[in-house]
Amino acid sequence: MRETSQKTLLRALAGEALSPPPVWLMRQAGRYLPEYRATRARAGDFLSLCYNPDLATEVTLQPIRRYGFDAAILFADILLVPQALGADLWFVTGEGPRLSTITGDEGVAALKPAGEIHETLAPVYQTVRNVASALPRETTLIGFAGAPWTVATYMIAGRGTPDQGPAHKLKAENPGAFEALMARITEATIEYLAAQIEAGAEVVKLFDSWAGSLEGEDFRRYCQQPIATIIEALKARYPDVPVIAFPRGAGAAYAGFARATGADCVALDQSVSPEWAAANVQVNGCVQGMLDPRHMVTGGDALVSEARAIVRALRGGPHVFNLGHGITPDADPENVHRLLDAIRG
Ligand code: 1CP
């Protein structure tokens, strides 16, 4: 049995203010690490890496070995759920993901039922089991999925888009198909995260990377509401498993997001200040994020002073140190050591 009491991440998510705060980084396993690039080359391509439990376990553990982060995040991708629902998925080197597109009712009708995703995703659950048994006992294992809106934007457009235009268009022109798609993704996400928890994930995170393009009532209906539905279903079965929600780009709507969704922790991007987050978001629970990932490329005194400013502003309440978005492939691995020294002193 791993001891919960030693796990700083679980303590912070439960509401404890810790000094220093626990730390992990979004995309901590990734192309900025030479050992990741070597393992990915062995796998051949990105999807083969995601579906190979031995190699996916290896890359999940690499940043833990190198840096001793307080949490490991499962190595997988948010686009595995669309694939498990029957979408075609492939990655174009140097460009990114490509999927078959959903343009109307037939596309949604052709998807598999949510209950049938597990055969495709079984290797991911095996990775979770492997990592859970290999982690140091002070390290927490985070599982994750994309939030329905963000996953829908990729399933509709077939790729990443600057303004999520195709998804907004389907939402406006065929709300029936759009809402049926959102409902299917929501159901599949509950299934997927429950299976990750059964396999050993101790925390789960929902990435709504494109929440920032939803305004007003759309934000409530298509970001907040589906996330609340997923959290409610998970809490009914696993009341003690904390959930982190990342409605990236939510701006002022970060305030109140935890209460509206039941999230135990809200992850914030670098557009908000730590002082604002302390006054408006941390009042409702744990917060995470905000350091601009560019500091991991540029380093220097600014990295240290910005990291310390975040720690200082949030030290009165529960805080998990993280970046405002994923670490980029051009980051210097040495800057991660500098960051950890600045936080852990
Ligand atoms: O070439 C490579 O090796 C692939 C790069 C890569 C990596 C390392 C992709 C392709 N996905 C991942 C892993 C990944 N993706 C993780 C694993 C663990 C970790 O954080 O260390 C996670 C949590 C994700 C989540 C993810 N995938 C998101 C949400 C978070 C975010 O960054 O906003 C999104 C939007 C994706 C889609 C995706 N997968 C990969 C790319 C390049 C993209 C973005 C594509 C686009 O919008 O154009």
What distance in Å separates the CA atoms of residue 29 and residue 31, rounded to the nearest whole number? 7
Beta strands in the chain (DSSP E): 71-73, 89-92, 96-99, 140-146, 203-208, 243-247, 265-268, 286-289, 319-320
How many Å lie between the centroid of ligand 1 and the Cα of residue 247? 16
Task: Verify whether residue 77 is a known catalytic residue.
Answer: yes
Q: What is the CATH number of the domain that holds 109?
A: 3.20.20.210
Q: How far apart are the first and last CA of the chain?
A: 30
**In sequence order, which residues have a C-beta less than 8 Å from that of residue 272 and are 6 or more positions away?**
251, 254, 290
| Assigned domain for 229 exists | yes
Structural domain total, the chain: 1
Task: Indicate whether 232 belongs to any domain.
Answer: yes
For residue 299, being part of any structural domain is answered with no
Query: Is residue 154 flagged as an active site residue?
Result: yes
- List the catalytic residue out of 51, 67, 77, 269: 77
Cα(92)–Cα(90) distance, integer angstroms? 7
* Domain with 190 in it: 51-286
Q: Is residue 204 part of a domain?
A: yes
Is residue 37 annotated as a catalytic residue, yes or no? no
Cα dihedral across residues 286, 290, 295, 299: positive or negative: negative
Q: Quick check: is 235 in a domain?
A: yes
Verify whether residue 294 is a known catalytic residue.
no
Q: Is the pTM of this model over 0.75?
A: yes
Pocket of ligand 1 (CB under 6 A): 26-31, 40, 46, 73, 75, 77-79, 96-97, 144, 160, 207, 209, 326
- State which ligand 1 atom lies nearest to the alpha carbon of 29: 21
Hey, what are 123's tokens?
Answer: 């290797």
301 noted as active-site residue: no
Residue 245 DSSP symbol: E
- Note the pLDDT of residue 6: 81
What spacing in Å lies between the alpha carbon of 142 and ligand 1's midpoint? 15
Q: Whose CA is nearest to atom 11 of ligand 1?
A: 77
Tell whether 32 is covered by a domain.
Answer: no
Going from the Cα of 27 to the center of ligand 1, the distance in angstroms, rounded, reads 7
Provide the residue-wise pLDDT of the chain in tens; the chain has 345 residues. Answer: 444 568 999 999 999 999 999 999 999 999 999 999 999 999 999 999 999 999 999 999 999 999 999 999 999 999 999 999 999 999 998 899 999 999 999 999 999 999 999 999 999 999 999 999 999 999 999 999 999 999 999 999 999 999 999 999 999 999 999 999 999 999 999 999 999 999 999 999 999 999 999 999 999 999 999 999 999 999 999 999 999 999 999 999 999 999 999 999 999 999 999 999 999 999 999 999 999 999 999 999 999 999 999 999 999 999 999 999 999 999 999 999 999 999 998
